[in-house]
Structure 1
Amino acid sequence: MNLTVSQDFNFKSPINKVWNALTDSDTLAKWIMENNFKPIVGHKCQFRNEQWNLIVDCEVLVVDEPYKLSYTWVGGPINTIVTWTLKQEDGTTYLHLEQTGFEKEDQAFNGAKYGWAEMGEELKKVLEEM
């Protein structure tokens, strides 16, 4: 079985501002985790949360600025791919998230669903502050 976490967000921010929030390491740290991310295909990086003793290994797979960003998301029992797709219409940026590769509907899958929903709310706050 191959399960996918799929979520949609929309923001009253220009697409380039949302893209920046997805690709700038300092901004990502405000709404996801500390990281050494760079939007360069093949770049290997980590997202780290010391509080949860969590390290997520990533490799950037796709950079199509400002429309699509994809990277691996590997940590603990999770070996998945995260893909962000952006579209701007009438002053609203639509952001679609897919995290693919879950093998079963378990704690990791449900944690990802909950976690991305929470991080989406954090992203909204970060965009309002930018």
Structure 2
Amino acid sequence: MTQQSSETQAISVEKVLPYAPDRVWRTLTDSAMLARWLMPNDFVAEVGHRFTFKTRPMGGWDGVVHCEVLVCDPPRLLRYSWKGGSDDNPKYGSRLDSVVTWTLTARDGGTLLRMEHAGFRLPGNRFAFDAMKPGWERVLDSIAQVTAEAD
């Protein structure tokens, strides 16, 4: 019998954006804007709403991330579950059952945007953790660009 580790890891990134929290919130919660900086989706900013992100399949995983809005406190806090992967996907790691939290804090001349993606179980989710850590860092730059381009 193989013993699984119960260690979990989280990815945390933050960036100060030169926009008001309401404007950044819109970038995070408008489905069309969200698709521009992350993935196609059917997101609605309502607690309990179940939605999906869709990306390229990998191995046994169909490329669908299943999510549910857990907390929605505009324009300060957004939290949703993030579940994907496949139980029979050894090359790309095991099924991921995690939570993404966005925190917006007003700062002089802008907003401190912080993202935490928690619940990576190691070693099983090592592939996802290693792939997503630099990806989330780039996502904050994309959020800044999409926010800048919004009217």
TM-score, structure 1 normalization? 0.94
- Compare CA radii of gyration and give the structure with the larger one: 2
Give CA-to-partner distance per residue, 1:81-126, whole Å, 9 cap, x none: 0000000111120011111111116111111211111211111111
Aligned counterparts of 1:49 and 1:118: Cα–Cα separation in 2: 17
TM-score, structure 2 normalization? 0.82
Give CA-to-partner distance per residue, 1:38-60, whole Å, 9 cap, x none: 01000000011247652100000
Aligned counterparts of 1:88 and 1:18: Cα–Cα separation in 2: 10
Tell me the percent identity: 38
Aligned counterparts of 2:114 and 2:27: Cα–Cα separation in 1: 14
**Corresponding residue for 2:22?**
16
Aligned counterparts of 1:4 and 1:58: Cα–Cα separation in 2: 17
Number of equivalences = 130
1:34-45 map, 5 Å? 34-45=40-51
Whether 2:37 is the aligned partner of 1:31: answer yes
Aligned counterparts of 1:25 and 1:102: Cα–Cα separation in 2: 26
Whether 2:51 is the aligned partner of 1:48: answer no
Match of 2:143 among 119, 123, 126: 123
- Runs of 4+ in structure 1 displaced over 6 angstroms? none
For the aligned residues, what is the CA RMSD?
1.4
Bigger fraction of residues in strand: 1
Paired AA for residue 45 in structure 1: F
5+ residue gaps, structure 1, are none
**Corresponding residue for 1:83?**
101
